[in-house]
Chain A
Amino acid sequence: MDFRFTPEQERFREEIRRFLDEHVSAALRQEIATSAHTPGPLAKAFLRVLGAQGWLGIGWPKEYGGQGKSMIEQMIFYDELDLRDIHYGGLTITSLAMTLMKVASEAQKQAYLPRILRGELEICLGYTEPGAGSDLASLITRAEREGGEYVITGQKVFTTGAHYCSHIWLLARTDPDLPRHKGLSVFILPLESPGVTVRPLYTMGAIRTNEVFLDHVRVPASAMVGAPNSGFYTVAVALDFERIFMGKYARLRRNFDELLACCRDLRRDGRALLEDPVVQERLVNLHIAIERLRLLCFRSAWMVDQGKVPTAEASAQKVLASELEQRLTEEGMKILGSCGQLEYGSPHAPMEGRLVGAWLLAPMMRFGGGTNEIQRDIIAQRGLGLPRA
């Protein structure tokens, strides 16, 4: 066993750091701190810079213009971006593009992959509906075949990014007579299509999401990804990719490091917070938990590089990361005392209010992207081989 990165991987990390140090301007950092709802113009421009330099395709196979790097290297890359809050197109790059490579037609690959790679095209996820959250297969948005077209009518909810993405990856019912899972298909369509209406949904955290209404939206049959009625399978492939990237540890590490720095600076009863044994105990526990998560992240990545599929591991990553996010922010606020409640832009706000921002987002991490209860079912049933309830 060897837990160290190879010298090439270390050099790779240095290369990324140099690139980011050089290209991430103070103005971009300022924009990131103040435009939480929507990537601003500088973030969008930076996405294209990443694209132009070939960084977006780092994990893509060479035949699609990627660098064909291992999953470990991808993890290193996304860690470095996460540490700086850089917008890199998220799931469009890490999950949907990979799924397209697996199931899309040649024409679709030609149409989408090069533009995704250049950072020109971003796709939002249209799974959830008002009546279909955890139970995605109960969704009722209909896509009916009419000649060479499908006509789509229905409503999606919590469609994050629909107000700045160019396309939506939509799961809809194509055959209502088949059993629930079997009558679904995936479509990619431009959000500008006639009949699509996007309405904002504001949340308790600094994230905006949307409702998307589809009223007789006409798309060519070629907008369907994969075979008709294979949508649930296609989504399962996408979710497998998604889960690997969901439970990452880098942002936790960053927040922890900043918390640690605050504990050095802030004083209580005439001494630095860090000298208080109670604070030390809390920080030590958090550090241990983040280390365990880091190990699990790299184990999943290593498994992928070995040609294995991390299922229980990826689900456990998601559960650990989201619950640790809640715990780190909660404990951090307690450690900091009264100023722990102050938000971005307030006088005396430690960590520029980042801890408070993360605390408000943490509930979403625990139920979003497949709730932690569903993830625990996956660990128990697919990982441990236990029977279904």
Chain B
Amino acid sequence: MDLELTQEQSQVQDAARRFLSRECPPALVRRVREGEPGEAAALWAGMAAQGWLALPFEEASGGLTVDAATLAVVVEELGRACDPTRFIDCVVSCGALIQDAGSEAQKRCWIPALARGELQVSLALLESPADPDPPRLETHLEPQGAGFRLNGRKLFVECAADADLLLVVARERGGVRLLALSPAAPGVELVRLRSLAHPHLYEVRFHGVAVEHEQVLGNDLDAAPHLRTMLQRSAAFLSMAAAGGTQRVLEMAIAHVRERHQFGRLVGSFQAVQHMLADAWADAETARLAAWEAVTELHSGESAECKVAVARCASSESFVRTCLTAHQVFGGMGFMWETDLHLWTRKAKEIEFAQGGAAPWRRRLAKLL
């Protein structure tokens, strides 16, 4: 057992933290949340220049071929910084799907562009307001002429209006297909949703959208196994982001109670306050360990699924709970719009709800036990 980062990983961590404290201050997070995703364009370009957008990909398709742990270090830092970009959705989820399920031509076409920050992809997965498990697919492809026609609707698609491509999960006869299409294609309708969690969510409706063979990933492949692999990987990295956010919020809470005086004493000297923060610390530490175990054991077969499930459930709950504790020790100040704390509180909910949330993982875990 070795529960420390390697020297190399520590350097990546330091560099990432320095970069994000410069390029991703809370003021930027706020601008993206109150405005449009495009506010993060410069940050995204900077992340591309750091090579982060190439991290998950093989060298052969324009990536860097690093281990999952290095990617995890970066994702944890992104979580700390309340990252307002589409990193997990676009790079970790969609990028990995293209890499796993795409044809050579599709990989050559999309992955280098994605790694350069020039191609923004959003996953269109969920369909029902209350998420069935496994996702029941109504969205379907029908053959038409040389290609297909797509009908159906997707919900909770992140930044759909600002995507170059939507990666749509659809059913065709018995199988599951992945296809890439532009949100501006004829027959695609976008409806804005309003969420307390993710600031730019959409319902996407497909009214007989024409789809060509080249848009379907891997042509005749059944995408279901790839989808499962992707969901598992993404859950591990969502856990990592949650762990990073939790630590940052705990630090903010501690800093506040070290500064604020009431009754002639530091608020942090009251036992009631100390106990709340002690519980939050144990929460944050165990969630972080679970996330790291999940990431490092991603490729160890069935046991990986259990670890990921534990991490996904533990980390998203800890993140929310720690934010609520932080609100309690901050008092009125922390409730103000101008105070940054609620940016993380909303982020915690964003991570909790991402890709159908933790509930499917709970059910999965119940079956695996």
Binding site for B on A (CB under 8 A): 128, 131-135, 138, 157-158, 201-205, 266-270, 273, 326, 330, 333-334, 336-350, 353, 356, 359-360, 363-364, 366-368, 371-373, 376-377, 389
Q: Kindly report which residue of chain B lies nearest to residue A132, judged by CB atoms.
A: B262
Chosen A-B contacts, 26 in total, with CB atoms closer than 8 Å, are A132-B262, A133-B262, A134-B331, A135-B263, A135-B264, A157-B332, A203-B335, A203-B336, A266-B129, A267-B130, A268-B130, A268-B133, A269-B133, A330-B320, A336-B130, A338-B129, A338-B155, A338-B356, A339-B155, A341-B195, A341-B353, A343-B196, A359-B196, A364-B335, A367-B335, A373-B272
- A371 contacts B263, C-beta separation under 8 Å: no
- B130 contacts A366, C-beta separation under 8 Å: no
- B130 contacts A133, C-beta separation under 8 Å: no
- B320 contacts A338, C-beta separation under 8 Å: no
Tell me the bound Cα distance from A330 to B324 in angstroms: 11
- A360 contacts B203, C-beta separation under 8 Å: no
Q: Kindly report which residue of chain A lies nearest to residue B267, judged by CB atoms.
A: A134
- A268 contacts B196, C-beta separation under 8 Å: no
Tell me the bound Cα distance from A326 to B5 in angstroms: 37
Tell me the bound Cα distance from A185 to B366 in angstroms: 61
- B156 contacts A338, C-beta separation under 8 Å: yes
Give the residues in chain B near A364, CB-CB below 8 Å. Answer: 332, 335
Min Cβ gap A132→B in Å is 8
B195 contacts which of A158, A343, A377 (Cβ < 8 Å)?
A: A343
- A134 contacts B263, C-beta separation under 8 Å: yes
Give the residues in chain B near A366, CB-CB below 8 Å. Answer: 327-328
Tell me the bound Cα distance from A133 to B331 in angstroms: 8
Given contacts A134-B262, A202-B338, A338-B126, 17 further A-B contacts (CB under 8 A): A138-B262, A201-B337, A203-B335, A269-B136, A326-B324, A334-B357, A337-B131, A337-B356, A338-B130, A339-B129, A341-B349, A363-B324, A363-B334, A364-B335, A366-B328, A367-B327, A377-B272
Min Cβ gap B331→A in Å is 5
- A367 contacts B332, C-beta separation under 8 Å: yes
| Chain B at the A interface: SS class | mixed
Q: Does residue B193 face the partner (Cβ distance < 8 Å to A)?
A: yes
A266 contacts which of B130, B203, B327, B328 (Cβ < 8 Å)?
A: B130
Known: A338-B126, A371-B328, A373-B272. A346 touches B195 (CB 8 A): yes
Contact with A along B306-336 (1 / 0, CB 8 A): 0000000000000010001001100110111
Tell me the bound Cα distance from A269 to B198 in angstroms: 25
Give the residues in chain A near B126, CB-CB below 8 Å. Answer: 338
Interface size on B, residues (CB 8 A): 44
- A268 contacts B328, C-beta separation under 8 Å: no
Min Cβ gap B337→A in Å is 4
Q: Does residue B132 face the partner (Cβ distance < 8 Å to A)?
A: yes
Count A-B pairs with CB separation below 8 Å.
Answer: 127
Give the residues in chain B near A270, CB-CB below 8 Å. Answer: 132
Tell me the bound Cα distance from A205 to B332 in angstroms: 12
Quick one: which of B104-127 are within 8 Å of A by CB?
126
- A347 contacts B332, C-beta separation under 8 Å: no
Q: Does residue B15 face the partner (Cβ distance < 8 Å to A)?
A: no
Give the residues in chain A near B155, CB-CB below 8 Å. Answer: 338-339, 348
Min Cβ gap A38→B in Å is 16
Tell me the bound Cα distance from A269 to B335 in angstroms: 38
Contact with A along B246-264 (1 / 0, CB 8 A): 0000000000000001111
Quick one: which of B225-281 are within 8 Å of A by CB?
261-264, 270-273
Tell me the bound Cα distance from A349 to B155 in angstroms: 12
Quick one: which of B169-209 are within 8 Å of A by CB?
191, 193-198, 203
Tell me the bound Cα distance from A360 to B345 in angstroms: 9
Known: A268-B128, A376-B272. A337 touches B359 (CB 8 A): yes
- A341 contacts B203, C-beta separation under 8 Å: no
Tell me the bound Cα distance from A359 to B349 in angstroms: 11
Known: A346-B195, A376-B272. A204 touches B357 (CB 8 A): no
Q: Kindly report which residue of chain B lies nearest to residue A344, judged by CB atoms.
A: B194
Q: Kindly report which residue of chain A lies nearest to residue B321, judged by CB atoms.
A: A330
Q: Does residue B288 face the partner (Cβ distance < 8 Å to A)?
A: no
A337 contacts which of B272, B320, B334, B357 (Cβ < 8 Å)?
A: B357
Tell me the bound Cα distance from A270 to B132 in angstroms: 8
Give the residues in chain A near B342, CB-CB below 8 Å. Answer: 204
Tell me the bound Cα distance from A267 to B127 in angstroms: 12
Most interface-central of B194, B203, B359 (chain A CB within 10 A):
B194
Min Cβ gap A335→B in Å is 9
Contact with A along B331-355 (1 / 0, CB 8 A): 1101111100010010001000100
- A347 contacts B193, C-beta separation under 8 Å: yes
Min Cβ gap A125→B in Å is 13
Min Cβ gap B245→A in Å is 16
Tell me the bound Cα distance from A377 to B203 in angstroms: 49
Q: Which 9 A-B pairs have the closest CB atoms?
A: A339-B129, A346-B194, A204-B342, A363-B327, A135-B262, A337-B130, A373-B272, A202-B337, A341-B195
- B273 contacts A338, C-beta separation under 8 Å: no
Tell me the bound Cα distance from A270 to B133 in angstroms: 10
Min Cβ gap A1→B in Å is 35
Known: A268-B130, A337-B130, A376-B272. A367 touches B262 (CB 8 A): no
Min Cβ gap A73→B in Å is 34
Min Cβ gap A378→B in Å is 12
Give the residues in chain B near A344, CB-CB below 8 Å. Answer: 194
Tell me the bound Cα distance from A334 to B270 in angstroms: 33
Tell me the bound Cα distance from A376 to B328 in angstroms: 14
Q: Kindly report which residue of chain B lies nearest to residue A271, judged by CB atoms.
A: B132
- A342 contacts B195, C-beta separation under 8 Å: yes
Q: Kindly report which residue of chain B lies nearest to residue A133, judged by CB atoms.
A: B331
- B193 contacts A348, C-beta separation under 8 Å: yes
